Structure 1
Amino acid sequence: MKRILTLFLFLTAAPLAALAAPAVGDVVGTTPEAATAALAEKGCKVSDFEAEDGKIEAKCTDEAGKPMEVYIDPASGAVTEVKSGD
């Protein structure tokens, strides 16, 4: 019975974990402070920002510690692309 309950909890929580990641279209802000706070709410701990191809690149790690790159439109503050750093 414990195995069934554990499996049930894992399967119901898995989709919620996926919702925590930043996604294209999310508006995270146009300042480093706003973007850092908004990305942290999405489970992405920012370590650095840099300009790349007219966009802001936020280098961060997800809740599992995997590196990610989140590209932000500097005018709108919207996420335009998310790349896994694997």
Structure 2
Amino acid sequence: MLKQHTFNRHITREDVTYWRCSQFAVLRCRARLKTKLDTLTILNSEHNHEVISKARKYGSLKRQRAEAEAAARASDPLRIDAKDEPGSA
């Protein structure tokens, strides 16, 4: 745990272990750590979610993911969805 965020072991090679945010699979969080013996290195400290301290309600991730995708589309002025193109139904 680092700053109340939890991490899962991803890969271990010799004396180096790579960790990724426990929300990687569900929220595609890109936060990463590396440990080598007793040394911790933060590879990416940015989480795309708040600290999650308790179990989520069933179905809440679909809503949260849809909101995150909508925010990403809104922040990318060059992105054009197929439904926004002329002549699409």
- Same fold per superposition (TM over 0.5): no
Larger radius of gyration: 2
Q: Which structure features the higher share of helix residues?
A: 1
The structure richer in strand per residue is 1
TM-score, length basis structure 1: 0.31
